[in-house]
Protein backbone atom coordinates (compact mmCIF):
# COMPACT_ATOMS: atom_id res chain seq x y z
CA UNK A 1 0.00 0.00 0.00
CA UNK A 2 1.39 3.37 -0.95
CA UNK A 3 1.20 5.90 1.89
CA UNK A 4 2.57 8.88 0.02
CA UNK A 5 4.09 9.45 -3.39
CA UNK A 6 5.45 12.85 -4.27
CA UNK A 7 7.88 14.05 -6.88
CA UNK A 8 9.10 17.58 -6.58
CA UNK A 9 12.39 19.42 -6.50
CA UNK A 10 13.40 20.77 -3.11
CA UNK A 11 14.38 24.40 -2.67
CA UNK A 12 18.03 24.84 -1.75
CA UNK A 13 18.72 26.56 1.58
CA UNK A 14 20.05 30.07 1.01
CA UNK A 15 20.62 33.22 3.01
CA UNK A 16 20.17 36.75 1.65
CA UNK A 17 21.96 40.04 2.26
CA UNK A 18 25.11 38.55 3.74
CA UNK A 19 28.54 40.13 3.28
CA UNK A 20 32.17 39.85 4.39
CA UNK A 21 35.01 37.61 3.20
CA UNK A 22 33.35 34.74 5.07
CA UNK A 23 34.91 31.56 6.34
CA UNK A 24 36.91 28.96 4.48
CA UNK A 25 34.96 25.73 4.59
CA UNK A 26 36.31 22.26 3.82
CA UNK A 27 35.24 20.70 0.53
CA UNK A 28 34.38 17.04 0.19
CA UNK A 29 34.71 15.24 -3.12
CA UNK A 30 31.75 13.81 -4.99
CA UNK A 31 32.11 10.05 -5.41
CA UNK A 32 29.71 8.37 -7.85
CA UNK A 33 27.47 6.05 -5.77
CA UNK A 34 27.32 2.37 -6.88
CA UNK A 35 23.55 2.65 -7.55
CA UNK A 36 24.26 4.98 -10.51
CA UNK A 37 25.62 2.08 -12.54
CA UNK A 38 23.32 -0.67 -11.34
CA UNK A 39 19.76 -1.70 -12.20
CA UNK A 40 19.34 -3.33 -8.78
CA UNK A 41 17.73 -1.26 -6.01
CA UNK A 42 19.78 -1.43 -2.82
CA UNK A 43 17.87 -1.27 0.50
CA UNK A 44 19.62 0.39 3.46
CA UNK A 45 18.52 0.12 7.10
CA UNK A 46 18.88 3.89 7.58
CA UNK A 47 19.20 6.79 5.15
CA UNK A 48 19.88 10.18 6.73
CA UNK A 49 18.98 13.13 4.51
CA UNK A 50 20.99 16.23 5.44
CA UNK A 51 24.54 16.60 6.73
CA UNK A 52 24.06 19.56 9.09
CA UNK A 53 24.89 19.33 12.78
CA UNK A 54 21.98 17.01 13.58
CA UNK A 55 22.31 14.61 10.63
CA UNK A 56 26.05 14.29 11.25
CA UNK A 57 25.60 13.83 15.02
CA UNK A 58 23.16 11.00 14.39
CA UNK A 59 25.46 9.50 11.73
CA UNK A 60 28.36 9.57 14.20
CA UNK A 61 26.25 7.96 16.98
CA UNK A 62 25.11 5.19 14.63
CA UNK A 63 28.68 4.63 13.44
CA UNK A 64 29.82 4.22 17.06
CA UNK A 65 27.08 1.63 17.59
CA UNK A 66 28.05 -0.17 14.38
CA UNK A 67 24.71 0.57 12.66
CA UNK A 68 25.15 0.86 8.91
CA UNK A 69 23.66 3.97 7.32
CA UNK A 70 24.00 6.26 4.32
CA UNK A 71 23.95 10.05 4.70
CA UNK A 72 23.22 12.21 1.66
CA UNK A 73 23.77 15.97 1.49
CA UNK A 74 23.13 18.26 -1.45
CA UNK A 75 26.21 20.39 -0.75
CA UNK A 76 29.95 19.61 -0.91
CA UNK A 77 30.79 21.14 2.45
CA UNK A 78 29.61 21.31 6.04
CA UNK A 79 26.88 23.64 7.22
CA UNK A 80 25.00 25.88 4.86
CA UNK A 81 27.03 28.07 2.52
CA UNK A 82 26.69 31.75 3.27
CA UNK A 83 25.20 31.16 6.71
CA UNK A 84 28.09 32.25 8.92
CA UNK A 85 28.99 31.02 12.38
CA UNK A 86 25.35 30.01 13.14
CA UNK A 87 25.23 28.00 16.43
CA UNK A 88 28.12 29.16 18.63
CA UNK A 89 27.63 28.25 22.35
CA UNK A 90 27.90 24.58 23.27
CA UNK A 91 26.80 23.70 26.80
CA UNK A 92 28.33 21.16 29.15
CA UNK A 93 25.65 18.57 28.29
CA UNK A 94 26.35 18.88 24.54
CA UNK A 95 30.09 18.68 25.24
CA UNK A 96 29.55 15.45 27.20
CA UNK A 97 27.77 14.01 24.15
CA UNK A 98 30.62 15.14 21.88
CA UNK A 99 33.05 13.45 24.31
CA UNK A 100 31.16 10.17 23.87
CA UNK A 101 31.25 10.63 20.10
CA UNK A 102 35.02 11.18 20.22
CA UNK A 103 35.29 14.81 19.09
CA UNK A 104 35.44 16.72 22.40
CA UNK A 105 39.26 17.06 22.33
CA UNK A 106 39.11 18.65 18.86
CA UNK A 107 36.39 21.07 19.98
CA UNK A 108 38.31 22.00 23.15
CA UNK A 109 41.51 22.60 21.17
CA UNK A 110 39.80 24.91 18.65
CA UNK A 111 37.07 26.61 20.71
CA UNK A 112 37.04 29.16 23.52
CA UNK A 113 36.07 28.18 27.08
CA UNK A 114 34.16 30.70 29.14
CA UNK A 115 32.15 30.73 32.34
CA UNK A 116 31.57 34.42 33.20
CA UNK A 117 28.52 36.25 31.89
CA UNK A 118 27.51 39.86 32.54
CA UNK A 119 24.23 41.57 31.73
CA UNK A 120 23.96 45.32 31.33
CA UNK A 121 21.06 47.77 31.16
CA UNK A 122 22.48 50.97 29.75
CA UNK A 123 25.77 51.61 31.60
CA UNK A 124 24.74 49.51 34.65
CA UNK A 125 25.74 45.90 35.22
CA UNK A 126 22.48 44.35 36.47
CA UNK A 127 23.46 40.68 36.70
CA UNK A 128 26.53 38.48 36.49
CA UNK A 129 27.45 34.84 36.99
CA UNK A 130 30.50 32.58 37.01
CA UNK A 131 29.35 29.06 36.22
CA UNK A 132 32.53 27.56 37.67
CA UNK A 133 31.40 28.73 41.12
CA UNK A 134 28.23 26.62 40.87
CA UNK A 135 28.73 23.17 42.44
CA UNK A 136 27.00 21.04 39.80
CA UNK A 137 29.39 22.20 37.07
CA UNK A 138 32.22 20.30 38.76
CA UNK A 139 30.35 17.01 38.42
CA UNK A 140 31.43 16.84 34.78
CA UNK A 141 34.87 16.72 33.20
CA UNK A 142 33.62 19.06 30.48
CA UNK A 143 33.67 22.86 30.98
CA UNK A 144 30.43 24.90 31.36
CA UNK A 145 30.59 26.25 27.81
CA UNK A 146 32.75 26.21 24.71
CA UNK A 147 32.16 28.76 21.97
CA UNK A 148 32.98 27.63 18.47
CA UNK A 149 31.50 28.23 15.03
CA UNK A 150 28.99 25.50 14.12
CA UNK A 151 30.80 24.45 10.93
CA UNK A 152 33.89 23.41 12.93
CA UNK A 153 31.81 20.93 14.94
CA UNK A 154 30.27 19.63 11.72
CA UNK A 155 33.75 19.25 10.18
CA UNK A 156 34.99 17.31 13.26
CA UNK A 157 31.94 15.03 13.01
CA UNK A 158 32.74 14.33 9.34
CA UNK A 159 36.35 13.42 10.27
CA UNK A 160 35.14 11.14 13.07
CA UNK A 161 32.55 9.39 10.88
CA UNK A 162 35.25 8.77 8.29
CA UNK A 163 37.53 7.34 11.01
CA UNK A 164 34.79 4.99 12.25
CA UNK A 165 34.01 3.85 8.71
CA UNK A 166 30.48 2.44 9.24
CA UNK A 167 28.35 5.24 7.77
CA UNK A 168 28.75 6.27 4.14
CA UNK A 169 28.75 10.02 3.49
CA UNK A 170 27.57 11.06 0.03
CA UNK A 171 28.21 14.70 -0.90
CA UNK A 172 26.38 16.51 -3.73
CA UNK A 173 23.57 13.97 -3.46
CA UNK A 174 20.29 15.84 -3.38
CA UNK A 175 16.96 14.31 -2.44
CA UNK A 176 14.45 15.24 -5.15
CA UNK A 177 11.72 12.64 -4.78
CA UNK A 178 10.24 10.34 -2.19
CA UNK A 179 7.64 7.63 -1.81
CA UNK A 180 6.96 5.01 0.82
CA UNK A 181 4.85 1.90 1.36
CA UNK A 182 4.52 -0.87 3.94
CA UNK A 183 7.80 -2.44 2.69
CA UNK A 184 10.19 0.50 2.52
CA UNK A 185 10.78 4.08 1.39
CA UNK A 186 12.23 4.88 -2.03
CA UNK A 187 14.26 8.05 -2.44
CA UNK A 188 15.20 9.73 -5.71
CA UNK A 189 18.61 11.34 -5.51
CA UNK A 190 20.17 13.78 -7.97
CA UNK A 191 23.95 13.97 -8.36
CA UNK A 192 26.37 15.69 -10.78
CA UNK A 193 26.73 12.29 -12.53
CA UNK A 194 23.00 11.56 -12.85
CA UNK A 195 19.95 10.49 -10.86
CA UNK A 196 19.49 7.23 -8.95
CA UNK A 197 17.04 5.59 -6.55
CA UNK A 198 17.76 4.13 -3.16
CA UNK A 199 15.55 2.19 -0.74
CA UNK A 200 15.45 2.68 3.02
CA UNK A 201 13.82 0.96 5.97
CA UNK A 202 14.08 4.20 7.95
CA UNK A 203 14.51 7.73 6.62
CA UNK A 204 15.82 10.48 8.88
CA UNK A 205 14.83 13.94 7.73
CA UNK A 206 17.66 16.23 8.86
CA UNK A 207 17.27 18.71 5.99
CA UNK A 208 16.76 21.73 8.24
CA UNK A 209 14.16 24.44 8.18
CA UNK A 210 13.41 24.15 4.44
CA UNK A 211 12.67 20.42 4.72
CA UNK A 212 11.28 19.09 1.42
CA UNK A 213 10.10 15.88 3.13
CA UNK A 214 7.97 17.81 5.59
CA UNK A 215 6.30 19.53 2.66
CA UNK A 216 5.85 16.38 0.60
CA UNK A 217 4.35 14.56 3.59
CA UNK A 218 2.01 17.52 4.30
CA UNK A 219 3.01 17.37 7.95
CA UNK A 220 0.69 19.63 9.99
CA UNK A 221 2.44 22.24 12.12
CA UNK A 222 1.83 25.35 14.24
CA UNK A 223 3.67 28.46 13.17
CA UNK A 224 4.33 31.86 14.68
CA UNK A 225 6.43 34.58 13.15
CA UNK A 226 8.15 36.88 15.67
CA UNK A 227 8.81 40.54 14.93
CA UNK A 228 12.29 40.28 16.47
CA UNK A 229 14.95 41.21 13.87
CA UNK A 230 18.70 40.79 14.40
CA UNK A 231 21.89 41.47 12.52
CA UNK A 232 24.97 39.32 13.21
CA UNK A 233 28.48 40.75 12.87
CA UNK A 234 31.38 38.26 13.03
CA UNK A 235 34.45 40.48 13.49
CA UNK A 236 38.14 40.46 14.51
CA UNK A 237 39.52 43.29 16.69
CA UNK A 238 43.05 44.53 17.16
CA UNK A 239 42.24 45.05 20.87
CA UNK A 240 40.48 42.16 22.53
CA UNK A 241 37.45 42.70 24.79
CA UNK A 242 37.39 40.38 27.90
CA UNK A 243 36.66 36.68 27.25
CA UNK A 244 33.23 36.86 28.89
CA UNK A 245 29.72 36.73 27.56
CA UNK A 246 28.28 40.24 27.61
CA UNK A 247 24.60 40.92 27.05
CA UNK A 248 22.81 44.21 26.97
CA UNK A 249 19.08 44.25 27.54
CA UNK A 250 19.26 47.94 26.63
CA UNK A 251 22.38 49.01 24.77
CA UNK A 252 22.83 52.80 24.50
CA UNK A 253 25.00 52.24 21.40
CA UNK A 254 22.17 50.26 19.73
CA UNK A 255 19.22 52.62 20.22
CA UNK A 256 18.51 50.88 23.56
CA UNK A 257 17.88 47.54 21.93
CA UNK A 258 19.54 44.25 22.94
CA UNK A 259 23.06 43.09 22.04
CA UNK A 260 24.91 39.78 22.59
CA UNK A 261 28.69 39.56 22.46
CA UNK A 262 30.76 36.34 22.42
CA UNK A 263 34.28 35.30 21.48
CA UNK A 264 34.55 32.27 19.16
CA UNK A 265 37.41 30.30 17.57
CA UNK A 266 40.08 32.07 15.45
CA UNK A 267 39.74 35.25 17.57
CA UNK A 268 36.45 36.09 15.89
CA UNK A 269 33.82 37.93 17.95
CA UNK A 270 30.17 37.28 17.29
CA UNK A 271 28.02 40.32 18.02
CA UNK A 272 24.25 40.01 17.58
CA UNK A 273 22.47 43.37 17.38
CA UNK A 274 18.72 43.55 17.81
CA UNK A 275 17.18 45.71 15.08
CA UNK A 276 13.97 47.70 14.90
CA UNK A 277 10.99 45.43 14.06
CA UNK A 278 10.56 47.17 10.69
CA UNK A 279 14.31 47.30 9.88
CA UNK A 280 15.28 46.68 6.27
CA UNK A 281 17.53 43.56 6.41
CA UNK A 282 19.54 44.67 3.37
CA UNK A 283 20.27 48.12 4.84
CA UNK A 284 21.20 46.94 8.36
CA UNK A 285 23.69 44.43 6.89
CA UNK A 286 25.51 46.96 4.68
CA UNK A 287 29.21 47.12 5.56
CA UNK A 288 29.27 50.91 6.16
CA UNK A 289 26.20 50.65 8.42
CA UNK A 290 27.77 47.76 10.35
CA UNK A 291 31.05 49.68 10.78
CA UNK A 292 29.17 52.69 12.12
CA UNK A 293 27.37 50.45 14.63
CA UNK A 294 30.69 48.94 15.76
CA UNK A 295 32.19 52.43 16.19
CA UNK A 296 29.25 53.49 18.35
CA UNK A 297 29.92 50.47 20.59
CA UNK A 298 33.74 50.35 20.68
CA UNK A 299 34.77 53.93 19.83
CA UNK A 300 35.59 55.81 16.63
CA UNK A 301 39.16 54.43 16.50
CA UNK A 302 38.17 50.77 16.63
CA UNK A 303 40.08 48.62 14.14
CA UNK A 304 37.97 45.72 12.93
CA UNK A 305 38.10 43.14 10.20
CA UNK A 306 34.61 42.13 9.17
CA UNK A 307 34.52 38.37 8.69
CA UNK A 308 30.82 37.95 8.02
CA UNK A 309 27.60 39.94 8.40
CA UNK A 310 24.04 38.77 7.99
CA UNK A 311 20.50 39.49 9.21
CA UNK A 312 18.14 37.00 10.79
CA UNK A 313 14.61 36.79 12.13
CA UNK A 314 12.83 34.17 14.17
CA UNK A 315 9.91 32.05 13.14
CA UNK A 316 8.73 29.30 15.46
CA UNK A 317 7.22 26.22 13.92
CA UNK A 318 6.39 22.94 15.59
CA UNK A 319 5.01 19.84 13.89
CA UNK A 320 2.27 17.73 15.45
CA UNK A 321 4.17 14.44 15.09
CA UNK A 322 7.80 13.46 14.63
CA UNK A 323 7.19 10.17 12.80
CA UNK A 324 5.42 9.86 9.45
CA UNK A 325 5.44 6.28 8.20
CA UNK A 326 9.13 5.47 7.73
CA UNK A 327 10.24 9.07 8.05
CA UNK A 328 11.53 10.50 11.34
CA UNK A 329 11.81 14.29 11.48
CA UNK A 330 14.86 15.59 13.30
CA UNK A 331 16.05 18.94 14.73
CA UNK A 332 15.13 21.92 12.58
CA UNK A 333 13.07 19.96 10.12
CA UNK A 334 10.24 19.46 12.69
CA UNK A 335 10.72 22.72 14.61
CA UNK A 336 12.61 25.96 14.47
C1 LIG B 1 22.27 33.19 10.68
C2 LIG B 1 22.01 32.08 11.67
C3 LIG B 1 22.42 32.22 12.99
C4 LIG B 1 22.17 31.20 13.91
N5 LIG B 1 22.60 31.34 15.20
C6 LIG B 1 22.40 30.34 16.09
C7 LIG B 1 22.88 30.44 17.43
O8 LIG B 1 23.50 31.42 17.82
N9 LIG B 1 22.65 29.39 18.27
C10 LIG B 1 21.98 28.27 17.86
O11 LIG B 1 21.81 27.34 18.65
N12 LIG B 1 21.53 28.16 16.59
C13 LIG B 1 21.72 29.16 15.71
N14 LIG B 1 21.25 29.04 14.44
C15 LIG B 1 20.42 27.86 14.11
C16 LIG B 1 21.25 26.62 13.82
O17 LIG B 1 22.22 26.91 12.84
C18 LIG B 1 20.27 25.54 13.35
O19 LIG B 1 19.38 25.27 14.42
C20 LIG B 1 20.96 24.26 12.95
O21 LIG B 1 21.84 24.47 11.88
C22 LIG B 1 19.91 23.22 12.54
O23 LIG B 1 20.60 22.06 12.20
P24 LIG B 1 20.01 21.01 11.20
O25 LIG B 1 21.04 19.94 11.09
O26 LIG B 1 18.62 20.65 11.62
O27 LIG B 1 19.83 21.78 9.80
P28 LIG B 1 20.88 22.51 8.86
O29 LIG B 1 22.07 22.97 9.61
O30 LIG B 1 20.09 23.52 8.10
O31 LIG B 1 21.37 21.36 7.87
C32 LIG B 1 20.54 20.85 6.87
C33 LIG B 1 21.40 20.10 5.86
O34 LIG B 1 20.53 19.45 4.94
C35 LIG B 1 21.04 19.59 3.63
N36 LIG B 1 19.90 19.51 2.72
C37 LIG B 1 18.84 20.35 2.62
N38 LIG B 1 17.98 19.93 1.66
C39 LIG B 1 18.51 18.79 1.15
C40 LIG B 1 18.10 17.88 0.13
N41 LIG B 1 16.97 18.06 -0.57
N42 LIG B 1 18.90 16.81 -0.14
C43 LIG B 1 20.06 16.60 0.55
N44 LIG B 1 20.49 17.44 1.51
C45 LIG B 1 19.74 18.52 1.81
C46 LIG B 1 21.75 20.95 3.62
O47 LIG B 1 22.79 21.00 2.65
C48 LIG B 1 22.32 21.01 5.05
O49 LIG B 1 23.64 20.51 5.11
C50 LIG B 1 21.49 30.03 13.49
C51 LIG B 1 21.10 29.89 12.15
C52 LIG B 1 21.36 30.90 11.25
C53 LIG B 1 20.93 30.71 9.81
- Give one DSSP letter per residue of 212-269, joined into a string: HHHHHTT--EEEEEEEEEEEEEEEEESSPPPSSEEEEEEEGGGTTEEEEEEE-GGG-E
Helices and strands, number each (H, E), in the chain = 7, 19
Tally Cβ neighbours within 10 Å of residue 112: 18
Residue 255, C-beta contacts closer than 8 angstroms, at least 6 positions apart: 276
87 Cβ below 6 A of ligand 1: yes
**Rounded alpha-carbon distances, angstroms, from residue 30 to 33, 77, 194, 304:** 9, 10, 12, 37
Question: Among the listed ranges 28-32, 68-72, 248-252, 330-334, which one has the minimum average pLDDT value?
Answer: 330-334
Distance 207 CA to ligand 1 centre (A): 8
Tell me the H-state helices in 147-255.
Answer: 150-164, 212-216
Q: Is the ipTM of this complex over 0.95?
A: yes
- Which CATH superfamily includes the segment(s) 2-88+149-220+320-329? FAD/NAD(P)-binding domain (3.50.50.60)
Beta-bridge partner residues of 263: 269
Distance 332 CA to ligand 1 centre (A): 7
Q: Is the pLDDT confidence value at 168 over 60?
A: yes
60 Cβ below 6 A of ligand 1: no
Q: What is the pLDDT of residue 239?
A: 74
- For atom 41 of ligand 1, the residue with the nearest CA is 175
pLDDT tens for residues 131-156? 888 877 788 999 999 999 999 999 99
Q: What is the pLDDT of residue 163?
A: 98
Mean pLDDT for 26-43 is: 93
CATH topology of domain 226-315: Alpha-Beta Plaits (3.30.70)
Q: Is the pLDDT confidence value at 254 over 80?
A: yes
285 Cβ below 6 A of ligand 1: no
Tally Cβ neighbours within 10 Å of residue 138: 10
17 Cβ below 6 A of ligand 1: no
Domain ranges of the chain: 2-88+149-220+320-329, 226-315
Are β-strands 194-205 and 43-49 bridged in parallel, bridged antiparallel, or unpaired? parallel
CB 90 within 8 A of CB 99: no
- The DSSP call for residue 19 is B
| Best residue for ligand 1 mutational test, from 81, 84, 87 (most atoms within 8 Å of Cβ) | 87
Tell me the H-state helices in the chain.
Answer: 53-65, 92-101, 104-110, 150-164, 212-216, 281-284, 287-298
Rounded to 5 degrees, φ, ψ at 140 are -120, 155
At 245 the three-state DSSP class reads strand
pLDDT tens for residues 267-303? 999 999 999 988 998 899 899 999 999 999 999 999 9
Residue 244, C-beta contacts closer than 8 angstroms, at least 6 positions apart: 114, 116, 117, 118
At 229 the three-state DSSP class reads strand
Q: Is the pLDDT confidence value at 336 over 70?
A: no
Mean pLDDT for 170-193 is: 96
205 Cβ below 6 A of ligand 1: no
Q: Is the pLDDT confidence value at 43 over 50?
A: yes
Same fold, 2-88+149-220+320-329 and 226-315: no
At 33 the three-state DSSP class reads coil
| Best residue for ligand 1 mutational test, from 14, 86, 173 (most atoms within 8 Å of Cβ) | 86
At 267 the three-state DSSP class reads helix
- For atom 30 of ligand 1, the residue with the nearest CA is 208
Q: 20 or 215: which carries more pLDDT confidence?
A: 215
CB 90 within 8 A of CB 156: no
Please state, in angstroms and rounded to a whole number, the distance separating the CA atoms of residues 24 and 95: 24
- The DSSP call for residue 199 is E
The HSE-up count of residue 234 (CA atoms within 13 Å, CB side) is 25
Please state, in angstroms and rounded to a whole number, the distance separating the CA atoms of residues 94 and 82: 25
- For atom 3 of ligand 1, the residue with the nearest CA is 86
Amino acid sequence: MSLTAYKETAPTNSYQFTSGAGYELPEYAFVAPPELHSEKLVRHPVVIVGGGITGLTLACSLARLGVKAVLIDEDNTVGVKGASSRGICYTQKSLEIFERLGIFERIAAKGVQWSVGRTFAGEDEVYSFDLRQQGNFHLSSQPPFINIQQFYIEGFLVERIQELGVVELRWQNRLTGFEQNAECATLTVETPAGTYSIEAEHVIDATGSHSPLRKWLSVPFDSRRGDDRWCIADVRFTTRPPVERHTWIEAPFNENRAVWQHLMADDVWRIDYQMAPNADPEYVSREDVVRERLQRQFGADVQVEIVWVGPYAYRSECVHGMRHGRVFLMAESPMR
